[in-house]
Structure 1
Amino acid sequence: MKKILGLFLFCVLTASAHAQQMSAGSQVLVSGRADIKVVNDQAVISFYAEEVDKDKTLAATRVNQKMKAGIEFIKREYKEIELSTRNYHSSQVYEEVASKNANGMPTVKQQANGWRVGQYLDLKTRDLKNLPAMASYLQKTLALNNVRFELSDEANKRVEAERIVTGYKNLNERIAMIAQAMGRHSSDFVIDSVDFEGGEIDRSPNRAYGRVVTVSASNVRSDKIVEPDFEPGMSMVSIRVDAKLRVK
């Protein structure tokens, strides 16, 4: 600890001595930063339907029926939800069949045994209150693929001013600390330029996945799916403010 403190004091004294030698017009680059936590208010949830059958037409028909039922339910019950379909796919299913080669030796070959057909349905909604009930209902016919929580455009706009003000405040605080470490005053520096283009949204911590609430099997009918419990979590909205200072 004493060594670290001594090194810090040495750096401060060295910077202070260097600052005294800085001539007018010398430039100093400083960056400020702000990190603001905001509660996620929007969910992007993905469902899919998949069927396997020896008859490709039958597999595709069942997938189409499930997707149609899900889409009609959403449009009827939830008017504000954005939805889109994607990745309609079909591929052959193979099985391993034992056989013998020309020399009579046992071998295994792949043989077509049917078709796998599927499609994805993506939903975007800010109605987080009714999200568990909606997901539970759709899971009667569709499989839940994943859930991602994020900030809506409206939430980003609301926090924009706070993000900029907080970032600029931090920049001025750092300028004052640097000036003090260099044995100068903040008034000894002139800001030539400021760049606010370092803004970003860190989406890594805002992933919140649903967990199923444990309910006694005796209290649940066989045709009823327990509602999942979703936790929206928070997003970190950040900004970096870069400034170019000039010594008076």
Structure 2
Amino acid sequence: MTVMKTVAAAALVLGAQAVQAQSIPTTGTLVIVPANGEVRAPNDQAVATLAIEEQDKDKAAAASRVNQKMKQGLDILKKEDPQARLKTQGYYTYPVYPEDRPVPMGGTPKRPQPVAWRVGQYVEMTTTSLGTLPKTVAAAQKILTLNNIQFGLSPEATRKLDDQRIAVTYRNLNERIASIASAMGRKTSDAVLETVDFEGTGNYAGREMAPAAPMMMMRAAKDTAEVAEPSFEPGETTLDMRLVGKVRFK
């Protein structure tokens, strides 16, 4: 009997505490509500970096071959993918020094002289023609070298996806407000949304930039070499968003 009385007393205390918690006034309460949204879409754009590099004892000869082959590579890219956007960049010229530099006994080290010159250039291709991308790259690889490739969303696809992202995030905010109102013993209609902050999170996903291409260490293939088509999987991009809403209960 003593145990049963103790349990009954504890139940009465907990019940009284629950009633007291439910009776806490919430009129005028300001609630900060975070919300999240996420949308996904297949990547529809590729940014490929191709390059050419030549080495020769004659700096002018190396530069001349680079200029000629880059022009040939650009012509191939334009022919295979007329809609692609091309941008040449990263032209460089570096001296090549001998690996062994003997120092005469008791003498002063001489200033090393270059034994050759390495000259190269990059071209960046941006395209939405993903279906023909392997064929385009393989054709260009007869002269140029594929240095880097990044897949992502085109500006048009990003804008469309952004509309969905905002809608999904705002829906999540309404769902959370409804849950909070229920937990507080209030009706959703008692909640007034005072502020929605889309900029305070610092989350700006989806703005990807391709990393700078590293320097090539190998020469490009010969013009006559046939190159098998590479395999690409564009994948998908996920864009997420966080917003913060301020809700006041009447």
* Structure 1 match to 2:102: 99
Q: CA deviation at 1:102?
A: 4.0
- 1:34/1:239 contact within 8 Å kept: yes
CA–CA separation in structure 2 for the residues paired with 1:182 and 1:46: 57
Q: CA deviation at 1:191?
A: 0.5
**Matched AA of 2:72:** A
In structure 2, the CA distance between the partners of 1:184 and 1:140, relative to structure 1 (3 Å rule), is same
* Structure 2 match to 1:164: 166
In structure 2, the CA distance between the partners of 1:18 and 1:240, relative to structure 1 (3 Å rule), is farther
* Structure 2 match to 1:132: 134
- The TM-score, its normalising length taken from structure 2, stands at 0.78
Identity %: 41
- 2:87/2:125 contact within 8 Å kept: yes
Q: CA deviation at 1:80?
A: 0.8
- 1:84/1:123 contact within 8 Å kept: yes
CA–CA separation in structure 1 for the residues paired with 2:21 and 2:88: 65
User: Which 5+ residue runs of structure 1 have no aligned equivalent?
Assistant: 1-12, 208-221
1:47 matched to 2:47? The reply is no
Residue in structure 1 matching 2:86, options 83, 95, 103: 83
CA–CA separation in structure 2 for the residues paired with 1:99 and 1:164: 67
1:201 matched to 2:190? The reply is no
* Structure 2 match to 1:30: 33
CA–CA separation in structure 2 for the residues paired with 1:19 and 1:154: 52
1:65 matched to 2:68? The reply is yes
User: Which 5+ residue runs of structure 2 have no aligned equivalent?
Assistant: 1-16, 212-223
Q: CA deviation at 1:20?
A: 2.3
1:242 matched to 2:244? The reply is yes
Q: CA deviation at 1:110?
A: 4.8
- 1:99/1:109 contact within 8 Å kept: no
Give 3-state SS (helix, strand or coil) of 2:116's partner: strand
Q: Where does 1:205-224 land on structure 2 (aligned, <5 Å)?
A: 223-224=225-226
CA–CA separation in structure 2 for the residues paired with 1:229 and 1:77: 17
What is the RMSD of the two structures over their aligned residues, measured on CA atoms?
A: 2.9
Q: CA deviation at 1:131?
A: 0.2
State how many pairs are aligned: 218
CA–CA separation in structure 1 for the residues paired with 2:129 and 2:39: 23
- The TM-score, its normalising length taken from structure 1, stands at 0.78
* Structure 2 match to 1:217: none
